[in-house]
Amino acid sequence: MTRKERYEAVISWFEEHMPVAETELHYESPFELLVAVILSAQCTDKRVNLITPRLFKQYPTAEVMARAEVEDIFELIRSVSYPNAKAKYLVATSKLLVEHFCGEVPESREELMKLPGVGRKTANVIASVIYGRPTMAVDTHVFRVANRIGLTTNSKTPLETELTLVRYIPESLIPKAHHWLILHGRYVCVARKPHCSECGLAPYCRYYAAQQRRSKKETK
């Protein structure tokens, strides 16, 4: 199977079996999603969703959060990973949004990456989810799934994976494909023991094919 054929097969399967694919983070505004994505770094969406209702109730906008004390934000987010750093990021980012972007979340990846606590992955998420930009955020799930299936070949960094995926996935599907790969990695193609027997992508998966070849050799 060529890479082009594999991409076509995988995309076709996702379009049929996962027509709706969205972020599992809860939010009601671009600012809330930005905050949630910053909090989700090295932390589960489930954990973030548990703490953001109280946080958003007290600090619903960048203008309000910009006036907050870091210690007060910390108390509300202390159960996430790296709460000290993230509390500082949230206050600093809110201040920058107010000072330079009139309190609005910018659209471009370049402007988003100027915000404290916002790297390329977070910027890609915001640009994609909020503004529909063809940006591919590569987290551990996307990196793992793309490599296992064979959408990428020996990619060593998230950036290598990102550039390969946006090259082969149609631009209009990139925002949705980001969620396809994340959700597949979160629930099916898990890190320790992927559920290959339950996976509809198995016929197109390089990892599964290798496992099958290994099993045949062992049974001979």
Choice among 121, 156, 216, 220 that is catalytic:
121
Q: Is 199 labelled a binding residue?
A: yes
Tokens of 107: 């659209």
User: Exposed e or buried b for every residue in 56-75, given b needs 16+ CB within 10 A?
Assistant: beebebbeebbebeeeebbe
For tokens 């597949």, what's the residue?
Answer: 184
DSSP category for residue 163: H
Q: CA torsion sign, 46 to 51 to 57 to 61? A: negative
Q: Which of 169, 180, 175, 133 is nearest to 19 (CA)?
A: 180
Tokens of 2: 């060529």
Contact (CB, 8 A) for 213 and 30: no
Cα-flanking dihedrals φ and ψ of residue 180, to 5°?
Answer: -55, -50
Distances (CA, A) of 208 to 76, 154, 180, 196, 200: 43, 16, 18, 7, 11
Choice among 45, 139, 217, 220 that is catalytic:
139
45 annotated active-site: no
- What is the C-alpha radius of gyration for the chain, rounded to an integer number of angstroms? 19
Q: Is 43 labelled a binding residue?
A: no
Q: Is 189 labelled a binding residue?
A: yes
List residues forming the annotated binding site: 189, 196, 199, 205
Active site residues: 121, 139
List residues forming the annotated binding site for [4Fe-4S] cluster: 189, 196, 199, 205
